[in-house]
């Protein structure tokens, strides 16, 4: 499931279907009622939900493939220096896993995405995602949206 998650994970419907199967498996494994909540059980068992698995795999792909950071394009110390630059000419590029991966990676907390060591990055990201147990990509992005307060 992990090897091709970069391909199938870009579609929310695929993640929803796999998450339903995961919840059924946890309920069967723990002898829970059919409509029991599973979020805490994902955390207790240390299992990544399907959206978290996609976030984990695509973030590892982005981190371990030496892409160009924004701070390498010029000498200025900017607030986005730890982000990767996403330059593309055509709208169709936004459907590729690499683009989705860059958006996801840039949404991660700064203390995680700035870790240089690959093994430490992997373990910190996994423990972060297990504690959150996101059920959808929308839920992940909502956590990191910085909207101004409404008056």
Confidence of residue 13 (pLDDT cuts 50, 70, 90): confident
Spatial separation of the C-alpha atoms in residues 68 and 84, rounded to whole Å: 6
pLDDT over 90 at 126, yes or no: yes
Check: CB of residue 70 under 8 Å from CB of residue 80. Answer: yes
pLDDT over 50 at 150, yes or no: no
Distance of CA 39 to CAs 66, 125, 128, Å?
34, 18, 14
What does pLDDT average to over the chain? 81
The pLDDT of 99-114, averaged and rounded, is: 87
**What are the start-end ranges of the H helices in 30-117?**
39-45, 50-64, 97-107, 110-113
Q: In this predicted structure, what is the pLDDT of residue 151? A: 41
Q: In this predicted structure, what is the pLDDT of residue 149? A: 45
Spatial separation of the C-alpha atoms in residues 113 and 83, rounded to whole Å: 9
Q: What is the dihedral of CA 107, 109, 3, 42, to 10 degrees?
A: -110
Q: In this predicted structure, what is the pLDDT of residue 70? A: 46
Is the whole-model pTM more than 0.85?
A: no
Any idea which of 65-74, 103-112, 137-146 has the lowest mean pLDDT? 65-74
Q: 31-78: per-residue pLDDT in tens?
A: 999 999 999 999 999 999 999 999 999 999 888 886 655 445 556 666
């Amino acid at each position: 499931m992990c090897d091709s998650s970069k391909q199938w994970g870009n579609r929310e419907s695929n993640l929803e279907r796999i998450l339903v199967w995961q919840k059924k498996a946890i309920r069967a494994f723990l002898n829970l009622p059919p409509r029991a909540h599973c979020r805490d059980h994902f955390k207790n068992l240390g299992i990544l939900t399907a959206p978290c698995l996609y976030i984990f795999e695509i973030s590892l792909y982005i981190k371990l493939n030496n892409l160009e950071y924004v701070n390498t394009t010029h000498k200025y110390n900017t607030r986005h220096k730890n982000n990767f630059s996403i330059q593309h000419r055509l709208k169709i590029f936004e459907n590729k896993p690499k683009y989705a991966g860059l958006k996801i990676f840039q949404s991660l907390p700064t203390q995680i995405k700035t870790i240089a060591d690959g093994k430490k990055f992997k373990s910190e990201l996994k423990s972060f995602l297990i504690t959150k147990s996101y059920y959808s990509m929308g839920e992940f992005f909502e956590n990191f949206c910085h909207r101004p307060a409404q008056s």
